A and B are shown apart, each in its own frame.
Chain A
Amino acid sequence: MRSDRIFNWILRGLALTVLLGFVLLVWFLWNEALPALRSAGLGFIWSTGWDPVSGDFGALPFLWGTLVSSILALMLSAPISIGAALFLTDIAPKSIRTPIAFLIEMLAAIPSVVYGIWGIFVLAPFVREHVHPLLNGWLGFTPFFEGPPFGLGMLTAAMVLAVMITPTITAVCREVFRSVPDLLREAATGIGATRWETIRLAVIRPSISGIFAAMILGLGRALGETMAVTMVIGNRPEISLSLFKPAATMASVIANEYAEAQGDSHLSALAAIGLVLLVVSSLVNFGARWIIERTESKTHV
């Protein structure tokens, strides 16, 4: 049919536009970043100084801030999300499953600036007044919990991020657990497994690669999240092991400095940071896909 052919071409055109858009984006970033990369070379990634006034640009503090805050957020969020998903598929009474799932998914629709405000007004004081005294009091001798109570900093950012990625991870895990056939649950119950053993044997174990995929998806969201993190992380490009110290992420430094950047070299450095962020996110996603495919081909032979 003629109209089919036309429709086909339109779809192809649209797909190509998306691809072209991506290529243009990368090309634009590359072009903008080139001066900064030329003057610093690969050292741009490993150098720690960031001083726009003296023209000193290094991405490491931001790379550090992005990775640490995101991974920490994932560590906080994953157990909660997996637990919530299990609750929704295997524990809660049937009648409340859908409403609760809906509420959790609603959390994903809240604009990130709202999470930022909540972080500043609720979470930061909570960290300052309750979390810091506790952790610093007991574990302040370790490098991870030393330092004064600012409220804003790495831990607060990670906590906000954790709340933000929890709906995503929960929703994906819930789909994964729902796709486990009841047949398997019956198999476990039938050989004398308790409720919890049934969940472990028949629900979690067959879902490992799916759980992993959900976590990566959450990590991907955390890596690129900008607004909320910028509002609560303290925005200081320093590398510290302490979770109470302020830090900065790749996304937060771009958001903070792009509008009032001092000159071309500063702009170029920010673009280069954008490029690094793009590469890191892509690596995480491809790496995850690769691992998932490998574990799946292993378990479903």
Chain B
Amino acid sequence: MQKVSTAVIAAENISAWYGSNRAVIDISLGVNPGEVLALIGPSGCGKSTFLRCLNRMHEEIDHTRSEGRVLYKGEDIYSDDVDPVAVRSCIGMVFQKANPFPTMSVAENVAAGLRLRGGFSRSEIESRVEGALRKAALWEEVKNKLRAPGTSLSGGQQQRLCIARALAVQPEILLMDEPTSALDPISTGRIEELMTELKKSVTIIIVTHNMQQAARISDQTAFFLMGKLVEHGNTEQIFNSPTREETENYISGRFG
């Protein structure tokens, strides 16, 4: 485990509930700046819930609560004087299913976060939109249809549009919840390529069902089981010589 002080974001003893069902149990886990952390584990083990605790999205669901701290650059995002809305604009999120705003054009979708924040001139917005689309490796494909509805793009393009939308406000951390699970292999490949490029400027935490994907793109891997963190370490070490038997079983089962 790394020292908490070097991590850009670190959960400390995070637990999360849906009603009385404790879906995440006492997890401490951090990630260093510029690294990609992959969360793996069987479905229902609490990966999404944990991820949503990291930008305070978990509390948006009724009858939920959480305990513990999440230090973002050393500051607890759960302390009383922190506005969850501000947290979410520093820690972006990309969801399993692409969700562009249907009544907005490609450009408007990317600019949506900037418009919410306000205080950007037209030209600033335009250049940020272009920048974000370039970072999301989408610019070349959409530069001639910025005014077309976001939902007119292909599935893979829509997901990259959502990545661009998250990047436009220049977050330092990007949370991705199975961003490629609804996409074909080619679109998946493009997003994986894009992530290796992205990690130069943002720290990424990604939930994935796809072991090969985790192995290809992540620096660190954490294995969850039934709400608990079983093992965490360098991706190579986790995949080649896991120390825990459950990890070994899961990975070999998934690879075999």
| Residues in chain A within 8 A of chain B (CB atoms) | 93-94, 181, 183-184, 186-194, 197, 201-202, 205-206, 208, 299-301
Contact = CB atoms under 8 A, between A and B. Distances in A.
Nearest to A299: B103
Nearest to B104: A205
A258 B52 CA distance: 67
A202 B104 CA distance: 10
B169 A190 contact: no
Interface residues of B, number: 30
A300 B148 CA distance: 11
B166 A191 contact: yes
Interface of B: 55, 57, 60, 62, 85-86, 88-89, 92-93, 95, 97, 99-104, 112-113, 116-117, 148-149, 151-152, 162, 165-166, 169
Contacts, number: 74
Contacts of B169: 191-192
A190 B91 CA distance: 8
A183 B101 CA distance: 10
Contacts of B93: 186, 190
A184 B104 CA distance: 12
Specify which of A94, A191, A194, A201 lies most central, judged by the most chain B CB atoms within 10 Å of its CB: A191
Contact of A186 (B85, B92, B95, B151): B95
Nearest to A207: B103
Contact of B101 (A93, A205, A300, A301): A205
Given A300-B102, A301-B151, A301-B152, A186 B86 contact: no
A206 B117 contact: no
| Most A CB within 10 A of own CB, among B62, B88, B95 | B88
Contact of A183 (B62, B92, B99, B166): B99
B120 to A, nearest CB: 14
A301 B149 contact: yes
A183 B89 CA distance: 17
A63 B230 CA distance: 75
Q: In the A-B complex, list the 7 residue pairs whose CB atoms are closest, starting with the nearest.
A: A192-B89, A191-B113, A190-B93, A187-B99, A183-B99, A192-B88, A205-B103
Given A191-B112, A192-B85, A186 B166 contact: no
Contact of A184 (B101, B116, B149, B166): B101
Given A183-B95, A191-B165, 16 more contacts: A181-B99, A184-B99, A186-B93, A186-B99, A187-B95, A187-B99, A187-B165, A189-B88, A190-B57, A191-B112, A192-B89, A194-B85, A201-B101, A201-B112, A201-B116, A205-B103
